[in-house]
Structure 1
Amino acid sequence: MEATGLNDTLSWLGPFLVCPENETVDMFEVNFSFPNGICGFDSKGKKRIRHVEWEIQYRVYGSGSGWVSHQGEYALKNVNGLGFTERITLSSPGLVEVRCRRRNEQGSNNARDSMYWQALRGRLLTRPSSYPGVSLMAVTVETGGKLAAQSDRRVNVVATRAYETGTARTISGALMHVGTRWGWRWTSTPSLRWNPRTGRHGGEISTLLPATVSQRWKCCRR
C-alpha cells in the first residue's frame, strides 16, 4: 500500500489486517519508504541531520483489547531514496490488525523527509490449502540480486487447470466444471453425440455446445 496520509502528524493510517481472517501470523513487517531521502538543511543550505519519528501499533483483531505500541526514529542526512523494514515478533500467534503514524512534522525548515507506508506483510504459521471461491497456484521466482528491471516484477504463467472431474486440458472436463457450477446434475449414458444440425440428441433438446463435442455424459438442469 502507499499513502501520503502518513505525513499528517498524529493522524493514524489504518488499521489493516496482516493476513486473511482464517489465518494467523507470528510475525509481521512494515516497510517505510522515503523517495527523496531524509535530510535537513541549515540557513546556508548545507546538509544536516534530520529526524523522522514514527509509531506502529497492533492488536488482536476483534478482541477489543488495547493497542501494543512500538516507536522509533530515523536520523540521517541523505538525499537518496531510502527504505526501512520494521519487524515485530508477536508474543503469541494471532490475527492482528496494524496501524501506523508519523510523530513529528513533515518538511519543516525545507527538510526532505516525505514518508510512505509501502508494505505490510506477515509470516503465516501454515501454508493455506484453499480459500473459498479462489483458485490457488504456487509460483517460484528466481531473479538476480537487484530489482532494477521492470521484468523482475512480472511473472508469466502457463497453467494447466485441474478439474474436479474429467481429464485436464479437455473440453469434457471444462464442460463438466462449468455445468456443475451452474447447478447441473450429471449422469452417465451409453453414448451421446451432438448433432450440429438439429441441436438434438436422443430426442432431447441440448444445451448449446460446440459442434466438436462428443461426450458420454448427459446433464439435467435442476
Structure 2
Amino acid sequence: MKILVIEDEVKTSAFLKKGFSEEGHVVDLANNGVDGQHLAETGEYEVIILDLMLPQRDGWWVLQEIRKRRSDQAVILLTALDAVDQRVQGLRQGADDYLVKPFAFSELLARVQNILRRSNIRTDEVLHYADLGMDLLRHKIWRAATPIPLAPQEFRLLAYLMRFPGEVLTRTRIAEQVWDMHFESDSNVVDVAIRRLRRKVDDPFPDKLIHTLRGVGYVLELRH
C-alpha cells in the first residue's frame, strides 16, 4: 500500500513513516500544503494522512483540492484541533476519518485498514493467484497451503506483482512503487530482490510464477 503523509512536524512525520514502513507500506512525505496537494494530485495513494495546521496552505485547502479531483480518495485528518465543530467540519468537507493528536499508531493503523475495507480501494484483504495466496493485513503468504516467510521488502514486491497478474512490470515501475526510488540503469536492486523472492516463492514448487521478459521487466504468470 502506498501512503501519503502531509505533516509539518518532523518528529510526527518520521514516526509515521517508520511505523507504516515497518508494516510493509511505501510512504511519501510532504511538510506543507502546497507540496502535499501536488503529490496528492500527481501520485496514486491508497490513503492520505493529512494535518490541518500546515504552512503555505492549510489542510482544509488541501482536502478541498483533493475532493475536486477525486471523490473516492481515502483521507484521514490527523490534527491537534479537537473541537467537535472542527471534527464535524472535517467530515462534512469529505474526510473519511478524523483522529486527534496525541494518538496511538495502532489506532491510526486500524482506522486505515477499516477505511480500506469499507471503500475497497484497489485492494482486498487477501490476494490470490494460482496456488499463491497473500493476506495483506496479517502479513501472511502461502503457496499450496505451505507458509512462506518473507521480509517486509519482499512482501511489498510480491504484493505489487500480485496486484497486476499477467501484466509485464518494468524495473522502473517496480522501483518507484516498491522502493519509492528512481531506477537507474546500472542498478540491480530490482533483479536481486526478484531472485531472492523466486528462491522462496518459486524454487520449492514445480510451477513457476515469476517470469522475466528480457530487457523489459517481470510478470507474475502461470505458464503451461
Higher Rg = 1
TM bin (shorter chain): under 0.3
> What TM-score do the two structures reach when normalised by structure 2?
0.23
Identify, as 1 or 2, the structure richer in helix.
2
> What TM-score do the two structures reach when normalised by structure 1?
0.23
Identify, as 1 or 2, the structure richer in strand.
1
